[in-house]
Chains A and B, each alone.
Chain A
Amino acid sequence: MPIIVEKLTHTYMPGTENEHVAVDNVSLTINEGEFFGIIGHTGSGKSTFIQHLNGLVQPTSGKVTVDGFDMSDKKQRQKGRALVGMVFQYPDYQLFDSTVLDDVAFGPKNLGQSEEEAKKSAAEAMKTVGLDPELFGEKSPFELSGGEKRRAALAGIIAMKPKYLVLDEPMAGLDPSGRRDVVATIDALRRELGCTVIMVSHSMEDVARSAERIAVLNEGKLYALGTPDEIFSKTQELIDMGLDAPQTARLAEALRQKGCDVPESIYTNERFIEWFRGLKHV
């Protein structure tokens, strides 16, 4: 069963001078097992949007259902919320216990698992994100590097075995190898646990590489929804919107402007090389 968002509108401080429509009549469906990307610049409404997916905030109008549970209904929301795990941008705000293992075990314990069960779930989750429980379990979360903290926060969420995993800027602030590790972890989660991943990112490179479908939010509205091929064929529109098209898409666009014939499907280095190789053999 999917997450269904119907005509979702969220207005901050309605009826006041500071009234602000953050999400404006957005409808979309996120399918089970999908890797769903959400892009949009700061203020496009993407953070407000994802907070509706586990009922952290309530719609001003419209409706969100998670596997049939209406997230506006208090009782149903609890059931729906258990299916949706959220990992926020600043891992420091999500880590608080004295050891990494206790920290990761906090969620499952909260869901009613015994101390022992919770620690077992935590150790498994740590393995999934590539943090060896033997090596990292007894460390303080504050001894971890940025990338390790990010993975520990992720482990804390996946220890609760959510069906939907919402990641807000999972790669921000990490060094290149930290970014590679997090990408590999997300791939493993999808492969091993069959998680549905909903990823908000500024990094068009990361979204272009991983997402199966992408929603583009602009000024609270759903500007476009489609496959990466469909979205990144509109490079110039993305740039005009203040988004950062993938560098390779920008290169393709620059070449077109110089009068070269570059197909619209070229927006990653892999595709560029493949296409270029093909030309040489003609």
Chain B
Amino acid sequence: MISISEVEYSYEDGEDAKKALSGVSLEIRDGEFVAIVGHNGSGKSTLAKMLNALILPDSGTVTVFGMDTADEKLTLDIRKKVGIVFQNPDNQIVTTVVEEDVGFGPENLGVPTQEIRKRVDRALEAVGMTDYARSAPHMLSGGQKQRIAIAGVLAIRPDVLVLDEATAMLDPIGRKAVLDIAKRMNKELGITVVMITQYMEEAVIADRVVVMNEGKVAMQGTPREIFRRGDELRKIRLDVPVMVELREKLAAESLIPDTDALTVEEMAEEICPLLLKN
């Protein structure tokens, strides 16, 4: 479990420095799939970087499986538990051969060579990139590079996978591949997933959505609960998924009954009977 308690953080010093996080408390339970949404500058990426001690709170505490991130002696152990994949795949690739790149993390942690081999093979299999083990990373597409970056994190065998806007620069196929992998890791291996995203459509697949605004947790709940609050979301420069917008507008004119449908499939289920009756 990850516990975030009364965390404050500012990128600048001084009394009136703008706070990136101001009094954030949040718990992330084992095996949960949490989406964190918020506009640029809402503090969501700062929060993500707190989860494996890349950034330490000015005040308050972050504890990862009982370990305080402020304790430097524990940093390496924390990073074995929590792996992060960032937005730009090009900044995360360090070697010239895919399998070396995936093995880089465990090697740094002192994992024995034979064990590394096993982990690299499994990780590449998990992200569907086995055929590319000997390829040069720079020849891959953005989506494939992100899958390699995820494999690199999986090779560390973390309990928590953090995706910090990992799909932002990808095309629809690349984005779907990354989301499918995250979902599968969560369901099949029980890995906790924390997904930071700008895309409301992506947040729909989470168990819980945390909405950040001005360095605070503004709302949280299931996707169904959160996306019934469209007006509040728009006030803090966010939005609802396209299908939710359609549902809101149709329901506002009483053209369809009030529902909590979120996806294309659910909307089709709601609307089809009305059309066939017509």
* A243 CA / B171 CA spacing, docked (Å): 9
The answer to whether the Cβ of A41 comes within 8 Å of any Cβ in the partner chain is yes
For A175, A202, A272, which residue has the most chain B Cβ atoms within 10 angstroms? A175
Q: Number of A-B pairs whose CB atoms are under 8 Å?
A: 101
* Residue from the list B255, B267, B271 in contact with A277, Cβ < 8 A: B255
The answer to whether the Cβ of A14 comes within 8 Å of any Cβ in the partner chain is no
Q: Which of B70-118 contact A (CB under 8 A)?
A: 87-88
In the complex, are the beta carbons of B275 and A255 less than 8 A apart? yes
Name the segment of A56-64, A118-126, A245-253 touching the other chain. A245-253
The answer to whether the Cβ of A205 comes within 8 Å of any Cβ in the partner chain is yes
Of chain A, the residue at the smallest CB distance from B241 is: A247
* Residue from the list A42, A248, A262, A273 in contact with B143, Cβ < 8 A: A42
In the complex, are the beta carbons of B171 and A41 less than 8 A apart? yes
* Residue from the list A202, A205, A254, A259 in contact with B265, Cβ < 8 A: A254
1/0 per residue, CB under 8 A from B, across A243-282: the answer is 1101110110011001111100000010011001101101
* A280 CA / B250 CA spacing, docked (Å): 11
Inter-chain contacts of B275 with A (CB < 8 A):
255, 260-262, 279
1/0 per residue, CB under 8 A from B, across A135-166: the answer is 00000000001110000000000000000000
Known contacts being A42-B142, A42-B143, A279-B278, is A255 close to B271, with CB within 8 Å?
Answer: yes
Of chain B, the residue at the smallest CB distance from A176 is: B239
Known contacts being A41-B172, A176-B238, A258-B272, is A247 close to B264, with CB within 8 Å?
Answer: yes
In the complex, are the beta carbons of B39 and A251 less than 8 A apart? no
* Residue from the list B169, B237, B267 in contact with A172, Cβ < 8 A: B169
Q: Could you tell me the distance in whole angstroms from the C-beta of A260 to the nearest C-beta in chain B?
A: 4
Inter-chain contacts of A42 with B (CB < 8 A):
141-143, 171, 173-174
Inter-chain contacts of A147 with B (CB < 8 A):
40
In the complex, are the beta carbons of A276 and B255 less than 8 A apart? yes
The answer to whether the Cβ of B276 comes within 8 Å of any Cβ in the partner chain is yes
Known contacts being A174-B198, A176-B200, A244-B172, is A251 close to B40, with CB within 8 Å?
Answer: no
The answer to whether the Cβ of A177 comes within 8 Å of any Cβ in the partner chain is yes
1/0 per residue, CB under 8 A from A, across B182-203: the answer is 0000000000000000101100
The answer to whether the Cβ of B165 comes within 8 Å of any Cβ in the partner chain is yes
* A272 CA / B242 CA spacing, docked (Å): 12
Known contacts being A251-B243, A260-B275, A261-B275, is A177 close to B237, with CB within 8 Å?
Answer: yes
Of chain B, the residue at the smallest CB distance from A276 is: B255
* A254 CA / B246 CA spacing, docked (Å): 15
* A242 CA / B172 CA spacing, docked (Å): 8
The answer to whether the Cβ of B268 comes within 8 Å of any Cβ in the partner chain is yes
Inter-chain contacts of A258 with B (CB < 8 A):
268, 272
1/0 per residue, CB under 8 A from A, across B230-262: the answer is 000000011101110110011001010000000
